[in-house]
Amino acid sequence: MSLYAYLLLPVGGTLSCPEAAQAEADILAAHFRHLQRLQVGQLLKLAGVGGQANFGLVLFEAESSAMAEAVMNADPLVSSGCMTAQCVPFQVVLQTAGVQLHNAA
């Protein structure tokens, strides 16, 4: 297994799906379920939002770049056209032992 990341960026600079606000909420809920499935399958390593939720980052494991692309393209935020994403191989350069990431809030 190799590590991959995809950065989610809103189309047009702000998260505003082509559909109505309720459809956007449904897509965000589906996106969260997609991440939960990756977590249950022990593929998800980290997912979060930055700024005022104007971008997202998903770090996960996949067997191949084709599988990684499929995981990204299956994300409802990507498949709906709400956000653009690019999947890239990811390599951890430094990691502090025993440090667990948590919400800053």
Which residues, in sequence order, are CB contacts of 31 under 8 Å at separation 6+?
Answer: 75, 76, 77
Task: Note the pLDDT of residue 22.
Answer: 74
pLDDT tier for residue 37 given thresholds of 50, 70 and 90:
very high
Full-model pTM = 0.84
- Give alpha helix (H) positions in the chain: 21-40, 65-73, 76-79
Instruction: Quote the CA–CA distance of 45 and 77 in Å, as a whole number.
Output: 19
CA 53 to CA 25: how far, in whole Å? 14
Residue predicted with more confidence, 50 or 68: 68
Q: What's the Rg (C-alpha) of the chain?
A: 14
Are the C-beta atoms of 41 and 103 separated by less than 8 Å?
no
Q: For 58-91, how does the pLDDT look when each residue is reduced to its tens digit (9 = 90+)? A: 999 999 999 999 999 999 999 999 899 999 999 9
